[in-house]
Amino acid sequence: MDLNSLFSLQDKVAIITGSSKGIGFSIAHFFAAAGAKVVLNSRNQTHLNEAVATLRGRGYEVTGFAHHIGYQEQRKLLIEATVKKYGKIDILVNNAAVSPIFAPIHEYEMGVMDKIIDVNLKAPYELSQLCFPHLKKSTASAIINISSIGAISPERGLGLYSISKAALISMTKVFAKEWGDFNIRVNAICPGVIKTQFSKGLWSDEKIHEHIMKNLPLQRLGNEEEIAAMALFLASEASSYTTGAVFTSDGGYSI
């Protein structure tokens, strides 16, 4: 094992969903800095253009495709566009997720459930399938699913989100077991409360923030780069014997 290139993604092609900002953008940054050709994905063209411009300004090889991965046809278009641009796919990061409301489980309507499952579960499932013909050709392929500590210990008000993320962990293990024959590694990361716009409803509420801090051994919120660093480990040769694993990055919240 070459220690000088242990965390290198040189010339690998990586797709990262939900990467125009937050954790996804940070993962895109880390992957590009490690030498990967990175495809950023978001449904918002304006935000995507800004993210791509920022990374290109730092000298990285990145491309942005605005497809809404909550829709089946858009998922197919994302993969087709990536293969047309780069000719291959080595890494898939299923990061995009939604949590439309913060409410008790009995107040959720079926329409909300459909939206959560479409984005948080169906999209990672089908994107993985669509990438499969390309991943099995790669010499170092990897899928990284961004789950949540809510999948392990659900929080009040985030019931369906937690359910979808728990299912994503199960999916991770199923794919890892079945695709090991093709040398495709599949792992999951469960972030805790990371200080992003997505989780602002949690860390900006004084009572919720106080509750979180009481249960945090490290006594601070996480940042995007800490999740990106773990994703880089799971995408690189450094984790070459790791598959089907579920990593928490939550400051000790789930202990």
Known catalytic residues are: 161
Q: Residue 88 carries which side chain, given as an amino acid letter?
A: K
Angle between helices 159-179 and 123-135 (to 10 degrees): 20
What residues have CB less than 8 Å from 214, skipping those under 6 apart? none
Are 132 and 231 in contact by the 8 Å Cβ rule? The answer is no
Say whether 13 sits in a helix, a strand or coil. Answer: strand
DSSP string, 139-194: SSEEEEEE--GGGTSPPTTBHHHHHHHHHHHHHHHHHHHHHGGGTEEEEEEEE--B
> What is the C-alpha to C-alpha distance for residues 78 and 233, in angstroms, rounded to an integer?
25
User: Strand, helix or coil at 199?
Assistant: coil
Q: Which of 224, 232, 207 is nearest to 31 (CA)?
A: 232
- At which residue do the structure tokens 């998922």 appear? 75
Residue 202 CA to residue 226 CA, distance in Å, equals: 19
Q: What is the DSSP letter of 222?
A: B
